[in-house]
Amino acid sequence: MRSPKLLRAVRKQRVGIYAGAFDPVHAGHVAFALQAAAAAKLDQIIFLPERRPRYKPGVEHYAHRMAMIRRALAPHPRLAVMEMVDKNYSVMRTLPQLKSLFPDVDLVFLMGSDSALTIPAWPGAGRLLACCELVVGVRAEHEFTYIDQTIRSWPVLPCSLKVIDSYAPDISSSRIRQALRENHYTKGLLSSVQRYARSEWLYVSAVSHTG
């Protein structure tokens, strides 16, 4: 008698969503994305720059930020960037759009610890946490234990959580912008970003940029 064939379960694709201003993208962003891909077994990570971040007025033009991200991610096949039409993101509007764009996929949201600590104040935060996983990179100003315990004390917990020590916790876009303004190198400044910024005369003044 022939043995019945065993059907191998097909693993769902796992896609990381990494939203932010990326003004500009730097080596810390890329390093964290690669760390998260390994830690959470992600098939792909999508960088999702906001056109007009609510709490970061004066960011560089969206087209320039997109161009720098594309150049920064080019060497990394699992990292990609995607445009969305919304000026800024919200759980109630953006999450359904992402679920429609990525059906039958496990969505995993990537963020730094500074952003993660603000989640309980987001409108619709419970909806996000109930259906999605989080990967949180610990920034230099925070302790791993504090971030992990704080998130696990929330009234609504993410369906899965990974807190990781970032390889580059102290790199910031504000420091990168200052280096570009002063025409010198600093830790985390990507050569592709430096070349593009110089060619387009970006960040030559200090007006309004934050973060």
pLDDT tens digit at each of 211 positions of the chain: 455 555 555 778 999 999 999 999 999 999 999 999 999 999 999 999 999 998 888 999 999 999 999 999 999 999 999 999 999 999 999 999 999 999 999 999 999 999 999 999 999 999 999 999 999 999 999 999 999 999 999 999 999 999 999 999 999 999 999 999 999 999 999 999 999 999 999 999 865 454 5
Q: Which CATH superfamily is domain 13-169 in?
A: HUPs (3.40.50.620)
pLDDT at 9: 59
CA distances from 101 to 44, 139, 151 (A): 14, 30, 28
pLDDT at 73: 98
CA distances from 46 to 27, 170, 173 (A): 16, 23, 19
DSSP SS3 for 132: coil
Q: The pTM is what?
A: 0.91
With beta carbons less than 8 A apart as the criterion, state whether 149 and 115 touch. Answer: no
Reference 19, options 71, 82, 93, 77; nearest CA is 82
Enter the tokens of residue 72: 């920064």
- The Cα 108–Cα 132 span in angstroms is 6
Q: How many residues appear in the chain?
A: 211
